[in-house]
Amino acid sequence: AAPAKPKATHALALAPVGSPASSVDGFVREFLRELNYGQGVALSTSSVNDQYLALARTVRHYLMARWLETLRRQAETQAKGVAYLSAEYLLGRQLGNALLATGLTEIVEEGLGKCGVDLAALRAQEVEPGLGNGGLGRLAACFIDSLATMSVPCIGYGIRYEYGIFRQTFVEGRQVEQADSWLALGAPWEFPHPEAAQIVTFGGHTEKYTDTDGVERSRWVAGWKVKAIPYNYMVPGYQNGRVNTLRLWRAQATDAFDLKIFNSGDYEEAVRAQTFAENISKVLYPEDSTPQGKELRLQQQYFFVSASIHDFVNSVLPKDFDLHKLPDRIIFQLNDTHPVIGVPELMRVLIDEKKMDWDEAWAITQQCFAYTCHTLLPEALEVWSVDLLGRLLPRHLEIIYRINEEFLERVSERFDGDQLRVSRMSIIAEHPERAVRMAYLATVAGAKVNGVAELHSQLLRDKVLPDFDEFFPGKFTNVTNGVTPRRFVRLANPALSELITDAIGVGWLTDLERLRELEPYAEDEEFRDRFREVKAHNKRRLNRVLVERDGFTVDDSHLLDVMVKRLHEYKRQTLKVLHIVTEYERIISGEVKPADITPRTFIFGAKAAPGYKIAKDIIHLINGVGAVVNNDKRVEGRLKVLFPPNYNVTLAEKVIPAADLSEQISLAGKEASGTGNMKFALNGALTIGTDDGANIEIRELVGDDNFFLFGLLEPEVEALYAKGYVPSSFYESDPSLKRAIDLIAQGAFSDGDRDVFAPVVGNLLYEDRFMALADYRAYIDAQDKVGAAYADTDAWTRSAILNVARSGFFSSDRSMRHYIDRIWHTPPAF
């Protein structure tokens, strides 16, 4: 099914009955009403925050009729839809997207102008909801945007964290984390519904009993419970009249505080239960790809999944719904393993609460879940100790045991009692402790299992879960990730969007393959000039943002070389640092004259998990290198290293459109897909990248000539590991690498202190798990080619245009089409 075409481009035609008049005067009336009656202030005395809140609510009104209509039609048709279960949604700011979806931007700009208010200032007032860590959370946000735009019924379920991903600051170059109080100034986009709370239970024990029908059953006698309060958010489609729902849960104590204890003076004890319950949705775990956090994290997972399944089964579905038909009505998509506890939860609901028998319930459950894996790092595949799971969710553990028992019986039957295989495939691991392997549970229960790029899906099948692929032929599939062009092209890059529309007309924003029509323009000199002007414009815009935000300046004559993503060893920010230090060393040693190199500004953006020591050391190193390089007169300003703190969606929207070069340099076989790589290509940056994740598909599409490939291939990586990798041998045999590492080791970037970066240097020389040193030479050579290529302005621009023209495949609308065809079978509803 093709994504829905915008029905109209003019806002007037879009206003449904019952929404405020889509005229400038109508808007002004609504806005002032919100300011006066909603905020209780006069325009003359209102703060920017008052104005922002009033504007957000006004815009929200425009979507309301469509939202209610979407819900009404869904209740009427009961069309099959997707319930996307995700512990993370990295949404980014809402205002701009809501304006875009409603087509109201111009009216609002003009209306606010009449009130003497600047729209840009109100946009800047919004604090983005950072309810995700990185790629996985941002992907969820792109997917729900695409589903709404394609008119596919979807409800997103997740957690309304009171504090999102931490706010990063640097103190003397080191990362310091601060709580992200994103709700402090008001949350105009959410609709709380305390009356629709669900109860989620934990702990206690299970017991057998004989039911009234004489059947022996199990039941869970829980030990404690919390309330889950739903907060609804609108997910508007792009100018198509559909508004889906995102429902995030907040935890609250079931009982108000204990008044008797309070009156006795023990204030802490009086609110203990409240604090305990509310901790569940207090904060997003600031980690990415490394498991930690344990009990509270499992509580969070079960909390939102249980609330969501109950909500769906008992509130969203009609009262008389025949649950045997559940698979015709919903597919629960498991965004990584975080929501996998939903599998035994649905089983428990069907068996214990709805009194189905096991086989019926299992047949339904197996059709109602599908699982997406987002990683290959073994340490990121979640396991829960049987001890913890049994304590927190005893009934679920029983159910998991039975699922496992029946599954392993089938395995044993199929493979003649092959015990080795049986223990390999067991959902319960025996070592180092008894634990539930959540990825296995998801694979056994899921109708489909998918990876997020071709290479990743293939490695998932061949290396991570080969026994399961053999046992369940056809279960494994691929859906390559995508990104929403609404946010990451139209909103982030209005100048490029206008240029594209001038060339190929409207419609491409919901049919991104149409960017192909730009190809001939790569040969058009005037178009190339305009394209370059767009880049320069975006660099100047970035400059303004960074001057104000961090006091950094960006020179629009520099090649802008950008590496923004979570800080992780496998992503290899250290390799990037080694390149910068090499360039610097070439200058200070006199090997090259500053005037002879392509001037470059390197931009980093990266948060490190607070407990990930070496990642934090790498941040410190980047800042140390920046401080020296940026201030060394010998460099003559030809190299500059900028590391704005607190990289987030808002900053991404400014950085990516300005970039010339996109750094995608993970060790081959380690980055599942990447999605930043897609955003850069769509915004006309060339990629320097390894043969990894979706880089491979990007290169295939944009062409070898428009992509700087370097580094070991995945099989070569494996072979080198097998042979025994000795990083120091690369250090010994490559003088330029040796000089770069020696500079760091000697304290050139730490005021002569050799200890500060010793852990990073030691790690590189003696461990280097992700083979930065093995890829160093190839990387430096590729970077030399980049420098030379950039000097040929016309050829570079041609390549950049071709990157845009050939990246339409990476729209998340296409990803959604593939999920619909291969996994969900949920056609557009209207």
In which element (H, E) is residue 812 found? Answer: helix 812-819
- d(CA 79, CA 92) in angstroms, rounded, equals 29
Q: Which is nearer to ligand 8GP, 111 or 286 (CB)?
A: 286
Q: Which residues are registered as beta bridge partners of 335?
A: 372
Chosen residue from 59, 91, 100, 139 binding ligand 8GP by CB under 6 A: 139
**What CA dihedral angle connects 48, 52, 53 and 57, to 10 degrees?**
150
- d(CA 648, CA 643) in angstroms, rounded, equals 13
The structure tokens listed for 232 are: 């609804």
- Listed in sequence order, the residues at least 6 apart from 68 whose beta carbon sits closer than 8 Å to its beta carbon are none
Of the candidates 675, 687, 690, 826, the residue annotated as catalytic is 675
Q: Is residue 556 classed as helix, strand or coil in its secondary structure?
A: coil
Closest CA to 614 of 383, 742, 778, 770: 770
Residues 628-651 as b/e (b if ≥16 CB within 10 A, e otherwise) read bbeeeeebeebbbbbbbbbbbbbb
675 noted as active-site residue: yes
> Considering only residues 508-527, where is the footprint of ligand 8GP by CB under 6 A?
none
- Taking the CA atoms of the chain, what radius of gyration do you get in angstroms? 27
538 binds ligand 8GP (CB under 6 A): no
Q: Which is nearer to ligand 8GP, 160 or 566 (CB)?
A: 566
- Listed in sequence order, the residues at least 6 apart from 265 whose beta carbon sits closer than 8 Å to its beta carbon are none
Of the candidates 558, 571, 576, 699, the residue annotated as catalytic is 571
- d(CA 243, CA 154) in angstroms, rounded, equals 10
Q: Cβ of 557: how many Cβ atoms within 10 Å?
A: 8
Q: Decide: 100 and 238 in contact? Cβ < 8 Å.
A: yes
Q: Where are the alpha helices (DSSP H) in 264-349?
A: 267-270, 272-278, 295-310, 326-329, 342-348
Alpha carbon 443 to chain centroid distance? Answer: 22
Chosen residue from 100, 136, 253, 393 binding ligand 8GP by CB under 6 A: 136
800 binds ligand 8GP (CB under 6 A): no
> Considering only residues 162-221, where is the footprint of ligand 8GP by CB under 6 A?
none
Of the candidates 60, 338, 437, 565, the residue annotated as catalytic is 565
- d(CA 436, CA 85) in angstroms, rounded, equals 20
Q: Cβ of 578: how many Cβ atoms within 10 Å?
A: 24
Q: Which is nearer to ligand 8GP, 311 or 691 (CB)?
A: 691
Longest dimension (CA), the chain: 90
Q: Where are the alpha helices (DSSP H) in 446-524?
A: 454-459, 466-471, 485, 494-504
581 binds ligand 8GP (CB under 6 A): no
- d(CA 101, CA 240) in angstroms, rounded, equals 8
Of the candidates 66, 242, 338, 374, the residue annotated as catalytic is 374
- d(CA 432, CA 430) in angstroms, rounded, equals 6
- Give the Cα-Cα-Cα angle 78, 81, 82 (nearest 5 degrees): 150
Judged by CB under 6 A, the stretch of 61-69, 526-534, 668-676, 721-729 that binds ligand 8GP is 668-676
138 noted as active-site residue: no
Q: Which is nearer to ligand 8GP, 139 or 197 (CB)?
A: 139
Instruction: Tell me how far, at minimum, the Cβ of 481 lies from ligand 8GP, in Å.
Output: 5
Chosen residue from 333, 481, 574, 648 binding ligand 8GP by CB under 6 A: 481
Q: Which residue has the tokens 């927190």?
A: 392
Judged by CB under 6 A, the stretch of 128-136, 316-324, 608-616, 651-659 that binds ligand 8GP is 128-136
Chosen residue from 50, 126, 288, 583 binding ligand 8GP by CB under 6 A: 288
675 binds ligand 8GP (CB under 6 A): yes
616 noted as active-site residue: no
Chosen residue from 452, 587, 628, 659 binding ligand 8GP by CB under 6 A: 452
Q: Decide: 679 and 488 in contact? Cβ < 8 Å.
A: yes
- Main-chain dihedrals φ then ψ at residue 12, nearest 5 degrees: -55, -40
Of the candidates 566, 600, 616, 806, the residue annotated as catalytic is 566
289 binds ligand 8GP (CB under 6 A): yes
815 binds ligand 8GP (CB under 6 A): no
Chosen residue from 134, 711, 727, 828 binding ligand 8GP by CB under 6 A: 134
Chosen residue from 348, 374, 541, 600 binding ligand 8GP by CB under 6 A: 374
Q: Where are the alpha helices (DSSP H) in 208-294?
A: 259-263, 267-270, 272-278
Q: Which is nearer to ligand 8GP, 111 or 135 (CB)?
A: 135
First to last CA, the chain: 12
Chosen residue from 411, 672, 681, 802 binding ligand 8GP by CB under 6 A: 672
451 binds ligand 8GP (CB under 6 A): no
Judged by CB under 6 A, the stretch of 122-130, 361-369, 425-433, 670-678 that binds ligand 8GP is 670-678
486 binds ligand 8GP (CB under 6 A): no
336 binds ligand 8GP (CB under 6 A): yes
Q: Which is nearer to ligand 8GP, 545 or 665 (CB)?
A: 665
Instruction: Tell me how far, at minimum, the Cβ of 373 lies from ligand 8GP, in Å.
Output: 8
- d(CA 62, CA 51) in angstroms, rounded, equals 17
375 binds ligand 8GP (CB under 6 A): yes
210 noted as active-site residue: no
- d(CA 422, CA 142) in angstroms, rounded, equals 39
Judged by CB under 6 A, the stretch of 202-210, 220-228, 666-674, 780-788 that binds ligand 8GP is 666-674
Q: Which is nearer to ligand 8GP, 20 or 342 (CB)?
A: 342
135 binds ligand 8GP (CB under 6 A): yes
380 binds ligand 8GP (CB under 6 A): yes
Judged by CB under 6 A, the stretch of 134-142, 363-371, 409-417, 620-628 that binds ligand 8GP is 134-142
- d(CA 514, CA 521) in angstroms, rounded, equals 13
673 binds ligand 8GP (CB under 6 A): yes
818 noted as active-site residue: no
Give the CA count within 13 Å in the CB-facing half-sphere of 542.
Answer: 29
674 binds ligand 8GP (CB under 6 A): yes
Judged by CB under 6 A, the stretch of 50-58, 341-349, 429-437, 667-675 that binds ligand 8GP is 667-675
Chosen residue from 345, 569, 671, 697 binding ligand 8GP by CB under 6 A: 671
Q: Which is nearer to ligand 8GP, 58 or 375 (CB)?
A: 375
Residue 569 Cα distances to 599, 616, 760, 802, angstroms: 27, 11, 11, 31
615 binds ligand 8GP (CB under 6 A): no
> Considering only residues 682-701, where is the footprint of ligand 8GP by CB under 6 A?
693
446 binds ligand 8GP (CB under 6 A): no
Q: Decide: 248 and 233 in contact? Cβ < 8 Å.
A: yes
Residue 561 Cα distances to 554, 576, 601, 787, angstroms: 11, 10, 6, 11
606 binds ligand 8GP (CB under 6 A): no
Instruction: Tell me how far, at minimum, the Cβ of 235 lies from ligand 8GP, in Å.
Output: 19
Q: Which is nearer to ligand 8GP, 351 or 438 (CB)?
A: 438
The footprint of ligand 8GP on this chain (CB under 6 A) covers a number of residues equal to 18
Instruction: Tell me how far, at minimum, the Cβ of 646 lies from ligand 8GP, in Å.
Output: 18
Instruction: Tell me how far, at minimum, the Cβ of 304 lies from ligand 8GP, in Å.
Output: 15
670 noted as active-site residue: no
Judged by CB under 6 A, the stretch of 135-143, 625-633, 651-659, 725-733 that binds ligand 8GP is 135-143
One-letter amino acid identity for 257?
Answer: F
Residues of the shown chain interacting with ligand 8GP in the complex, contacts defined by CB under 6 A: 134-136, 139, 288-289, 336, 374-375, 380, 452, 481, 671-675, 693
Residues marked active site are found at: 374, 565-566, 571, 675, 679
